[in-house]
């Protein structure tokens, strides 16, 4: 697994290193779920274990928050009586437990929103959605489609048309929902079913798109959606063929 990014400040390097450490610990089965989080040196080479706020199977992390009060927010899976499924940290080292809106399997968290109304949005495998303006106080939201296994959420879009995009793994056509603010959600459909696992926004010049048939196409700025067998993309937040 390789990651390439352009970083202009030491703070950016440090934040990326810490975030990747937490992510990779969960992916590689390191003791992230055994009551430790992971931090990194500014160059992201040497790693140091840090104590998490709770013994939880942590699944996703994001950086954001109001100016001057930014922090890391991590969400995780409720199981075996786990109480804490959200924790925050201003530096990736000292973590504090927060109260989620429900004890469920939270799969993904992202920071975004219109200027002046930004917020964290978290989605769950149980179908739940919650938002927070600061990562500390959370409010339950109604998803566009009930009882879906939401696996990932991100913020992005063309200038002036940005939105949150969430995908699920139910292997159905109604696998996507979007929201301009994280509060009101609209269901979207895709032309082919898939067990979608992740979605992100990006592309400086051209963005690759890999399909089930193995063809590789490139598009400019778009949402990329990673599924069990393929990767789809759409410039306005709906994945599918063109």
Which range is most confident: 24-38, 66-80, 125-139? 125-139
Of 128, 82, 141, 76, the C-alpha closest to 102 is 128
CATH number at residue 163: 2.130.10.10
- The mean per-residue pLDDT over the stretch 188-213 comes to 65
Specify the pLDDT at position 79. 79
Q: What pLDDT was estimated at residue 127?
A: 95
Predicted local confidence at residue 42, as pLDDT: 56
| 155 within domain boundaries | yes
Say whether pLDDT at 190 is over 70: yes
CA 38 to each of CA 43, 74, 110, 215: distance values in angstroms, whole numbers, following the listed order: 14, 12, 19, 37
* 43 lies in some domain: no
Q: Is residue 20 part of a domain?
A: no
Is 111 part of any domain? yes
* Any domain includes 32: no
Domain containing residue 137: 55-234
Residue 123 lies in a domain: yes
242 in a domain, yes or no? no
Report the Cα 216 to chain-centroid distance in Å: 25
Does 1 reside within a domain? Answer: no
Q: State how far the alpha carbon of 175 is from the alpha carbons of 81, 104, 116, 199, 202, in Å.
A: 30, 20, 29, 11, 20
Across 92-116, average pLDDT: 95
Tokens linked to 27: 């992916």
Strand partners, 111: 120
* b/e map 133-158, b = 16+ CB within 10 Å: bbbbebeebebbbeebbbbbbbbbbe
- Copy the structure tokens of residue 190: 């895709």
Average pLDDT taken over every residue of the chain: 75
Both tokens assigned to 47? 């790693």
**Position 77 confidence tier, pLDDT thresholds 50, 70, 90:** very high
Residues 110-123: tens digit of each pLDDT? 999 999 999 999 99
Tokens of 62: 């994001």
Whether the per-residue pLDDT at 129 is higher than 70: the answer is: yes
Model confidence at 176, pLDDT cuts 50, 70, 90, reads very high
User: What domain count does the chain have?
Assistant: 1
């Amino acid at each position: 697994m390789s990651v390439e990014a352009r970083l202009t400040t030491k703070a950016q390097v440090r934040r990326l290193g810490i975030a990747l450490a937490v992510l990779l610990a969960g992916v590689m089965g390191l003791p992230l779920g055994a009551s430790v989080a992971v931090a990194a040196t500014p160059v992201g080479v040497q790693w140091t274990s840090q104590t998490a706020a709770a013994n939880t199977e942590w699944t996703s992390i994001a950086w954001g928050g109001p100016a001057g009060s930014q922090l890391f927010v991590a969400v995780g899976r409720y199981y075996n009586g786990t109480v804490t499924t959200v924790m925050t940290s201003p530096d990736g080292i000292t973590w504090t437990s927060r109260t989620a809106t429900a004890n469920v399997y939270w799969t993904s968290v992202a920071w975004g929103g219109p200027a002046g109304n930004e917020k964290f949005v978290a989605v769950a495998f149980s179908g739940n959605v919650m938002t927070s303006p600061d990562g500390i106080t959370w409010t339950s939201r109604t998803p566009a489609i009930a009882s879906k296994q939401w696996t990932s959420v991100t913020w992005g879009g063309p200038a002036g048309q940005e939105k949150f995009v969430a995908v699920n793994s139910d292997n159905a056509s109604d696998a996507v929902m979007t929201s301009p603010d994280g509060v009101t959600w609209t269901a979207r459909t895709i032309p082919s079913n898939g067990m979608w696992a992740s979605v992100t926004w990006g592309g400086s010049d051209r963005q690759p798109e890999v399909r089930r048939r193995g063809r590789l196409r490139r598009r400019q700025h778009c949402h990329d959606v990673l599924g069990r067998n393929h990767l789809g993309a759409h410039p306005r937040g709906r994945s599918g063929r063109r």
